[in-house]
Amino acid sequence: MNLIVVPDGDKRLDTVNLVEDFHFHRADVFISFTQMQTLLDKLAKSDFSWQEKPKIMSIQGLIRQAATPQVAVISSSGTSWAYVRSARMCDEFAQFDSVMATPRILWQFQTSRWDNGCVVPGYDNSAMPKD
């Protein structure tokens, strides 16, 4: 799931676009700068071990090199990423439910965890909210 910042007033704001590339499926989620800042503040308080490069890496490049789940932040000043042990993924990612901007974005985030074998309390795969 990719969280992409768009300006307030952008018609994509708070929407989800499902993309099927040759080798993987992804969800592009469009959020505001303020929403991203809230998420980044939560990430800063996490126990993730971050790696950084001053180079801007592509999403596809990060996906190809990841053998385990990861969180990546790509900005104009570079790229930071942290790998999450598969055994801890469900617990680690659950803490971010509270910062998902809309019911649809929360459902998409929970779906990605459910698809990877996590138990997500209250999640209903058939109850996708509308944008």
> pLDDT, tens digit, for every residue of 64-81?
666 677 788 888 888 888
- How far from the centroid of its chain's Cα atoms is residue 69's Cα? 11
Give a yes or no: residue 38 inside a domain. Answer: yes
Give a yes or no: residue 96 inside a domain. Answer: yes
Mean pLDDT computed over every residue of the chain: 87
Provide the percentage of residues in the chain whose pLDDT is more than 90: 45
Q: Residue 67: its pLDDT value, please?
A: 64
CB 39 within 8 A of CB 33: no
What's the average model confidence in pLDDT over 92-117? 92
pTM (whole model) above 0.85: no
What's the average model confidence in pLDDT over 42-59? 85
Provide the percentage of residues in the chain whose pLDDT is more than 70: 91
If we measure between CA atoms, which residue out of 33, 28, 37 comes closest to residue 108?
A: 28
Give a yes or no: residue 124 inside a domain. Answer: no
pLDDT at 18 over 80: yes
Give a yes or no: residue 122 inside a domain. Answer: no
Residue 46 CB: number of other CB atoms within 10 A?
14
Give a yes or no: residue 123 inside a domain. Answer: no
Total number of domains constituting the chain: 1
Give a yes or no: residue 52 inside a domain. Answer: yes
Give a yes or no: residue 51 inside a domain. Answer: yes
- Helices 86-94 and 103-115, packing angle to 10 deg: 160
Give a yes or no: residue 9 inside a domain. Answer: yes
Give the residue numbers spanning the domain of 49. 2-115
Annotate 31-69 with DSSP letters as a single string.
Answer: E-HHHHHHHHHHHHTS----EEESS---HHHHHHH-SS-
